[in-house]
Amino acid sequence: MTHVEDIFPKLIPKQCEICKSTTNLSRCGGCLAYFYCNRSHQLAGRQEHKDTCNTVKKARQTVQEEEQKLRQSQPNAFDTWLGSFWTVRETRPYMQAKMMLSETLIRTYHRQGIDDALANFLDMLRLSRSDNRGIRLIAGPLFLRVGQDQECYDFLKWWAIKSNDQNGYDWHDTSLPYLDIKDADVLEPIDVFLNDYAMVIPLVTLLLIKVRLLLEIQAVEKVREILQPHATPERIMKELDGLLLGNCLRRRVELVDNEEEHLNVLSAQIGSLLTAVGDANPHIIPMLLEPDLDELMGPPLPYTRGSKSEALLGLQYTYSAWCESAGAIQGLRNVIRTAIQDLRQSEQ
């Protein structure tokens, strides 16, 4: 059976568009998102690349033009309004141009495009701390698409804590720490993410972090079996080099130990997250498992909390990250199947 995830566009790594070489690459000077190993390969790819190249180039130029206009009308805009962009009307055309640039870069399905889109989104958040436009919802999954699971976790955790902050937080005070969580424990209890107001898109992004780590630790377990009795953490990591989806294990090699314990923790957390996701929006998990490609590629629709259109938007933001995580959707199917079996057994 073919699943939608099998036909969804694959992210193109940093390689020559023509011969797939990964050495001696130069970036395309127009879009800065494609690579070629030499001039003749750049010329050979020109015809096919022209439209995308021009679209991205134009989006980059518009950002520069809007920045110039803003600086002309308000020379100190980037100091005076730092942190409060978008709430100040004059800054909106510039922010809109940046939004358009990231959206255009994401549609290239090229790794460099995703890197640049994420960097651009993070710059928008620096300028507009309260994130009136929901950029954090799109940026979260992009971290995973570039293998930065730890950064993604830190990012989601910061927003979860702030949305729970009863004392309030002055979004306009740029002397306050912002997005300053670093190297939080990705296996810690998930309570901080769970509350009545938890939004479904960050929850689905967190779910993917956990599923990716689950798959990685399962791989560690298998490699350990094969290598016994020579299975040191360093040796296991060497075998898994290039196969890992994210950077959590590489950052914390001490996790390559007691796999069974970590797997139990992760399975329980994935179960709780599935419940939380279902409470926030009952449509999204069924749609993630069997999405409608036309809906997925269609324009985002206005939505209300818990609605089918919110689920669709959530899927549009996160689906590529799920597809690019080899085995993740199947891994989720397996977890759900086991949970249903357990439930049936307990009912008998």
Is 317 a binding residue for Zn ion by CB under 5 A? The answer is: no
Among 3, 14, 26, 41, binds Zn ion (CB under 5 A): 41
Stretch that binds Zn ion, among 32-40, 90-98, 123-131, 231-239 (CB under 5 A): 32-40
| Nearest 10 degrees: Cα torsion 95, 97, 103, 108 | -140
Rounded Cα–Cα distance for residues 134 and 121 (Å):
10
Minimum CB distance to Zn ion, residue 109 (Å): 14
Q: Which is nearer to Zn ion, 25 or 181 (CB)?
A: 25
Minimum CB distance to Zn ion, residue 31 (Å): 3
Among 5, 12, 35, 53, binds Zn ion (CB under 5 A): 53
Is 12 a binding residue for Zn ion by CB under 5 A? The answer is: no
Q: Which is nearer to Zn ion, 112 or 325 (CB)?
A: 112
Bridge partner list, 84: 128
Minimum CB distance to Zn ion, residue 2 (Å): 31
Residue pair 218/243 in contact by the 8 Å Cβ criterion = no
How many residues comprise the chain? Answer: 348
CA angle 305, 308, 312 (to 5 degrees): 100
3-state SS of the chain is CCCHHHHCCCCECCCECCCCCCCCCEECCCCCCCEECCHHHHHHHHHHHHHHHHHHHHHHHHHHHHHHHHHHHCCCHHHHCCCEECCEHHHHHHHHHHHHHHHHHHCCCEHHHHHHHHHHHHHHHHHECCCCCCHHHHHHHHHHHCCCHHHHHHHHHHHHHHHCCCCCCCCCCCCCCCCCCCCCCCCCCCHHHCCCCCCHHHHHHHHHHHHHHHHHHHHHHHHHHHHCCCCCHHHHHHHHCCCCCCCHHHHCHHHCCCHHHHHHHHHHHHHHHHHHHHHHCCCHHHHHHCCCHHHHHCCCCCCCCCCHHHHHHHHHHHHHHHHHCCCHHHHHHHHHHHHHHHHHHHHC
Minimum CB distance to Zn ion, residue 17 (Å): 7
Q: Which is nearer to Zn ion, 21 or 330 (CB)?
A: 21
Dihedral angle sign, alpha carbons of residues 40, 44, 45, 47: positive
Minimum CB distance to Zn ion, residue 34 (Å): 5
Among 12, 37, 208, 313, binds Zn ion (CB under 5 A): 37
Among 12, 15, 30, 97, binds Zn ion (CB under 5 A): 30
Is 156 a binding residue for Zn ion by CB under 5 A? The answer is: no
Q: Which is nearer to Zn ion, 30 or 141 (CB)?
A: 30
Is 59 a binding residue for Zn ion by CB under 5 A? The answer is: no
Among 6, 7, 9, 19, binds Zn ion (CB under 5 A): 19
Minimum CB distance to Zn ion, residue 57 (Å): 7
Is 34 a binding residue for Zn ion by CB under 5 A? The answer is: yes
Minimum CB distance to Zn ion, residue 202 (Å): 33
Task: Give the footprint of Zn ion on residues 216-275 (CB under 5 A).
Answer: none
Minimum CB distance to Zn ion, residue 15 (Å): 8
Rounded Cα–Cα distance for residues 27 and 15 (Å):
10
Stretch that binds Zn ion, among 38-46, 212-220, 283-291, 326-334 (CB under 5 A): 38-46
Stretch that binds Zn ion, among 47-55, 182-190, 208-216, 257-265 (CB under 5 A): 47-55
Stretch that binds Zn ion, among 48-56, 86-94, 292-300, 315-323 (CB under 5 A): 48-56
Minimum CB distance to Zn ion, residue 250 (Å): 29
Among 12, 31, 204, 236, binds Zn ion (CB under 5 A): 31
Q: Which residues bind Zn ion (CB under 5 A)?
A: 16, 18-19, 21, 28, 30-31, 34, 37, 41, 53
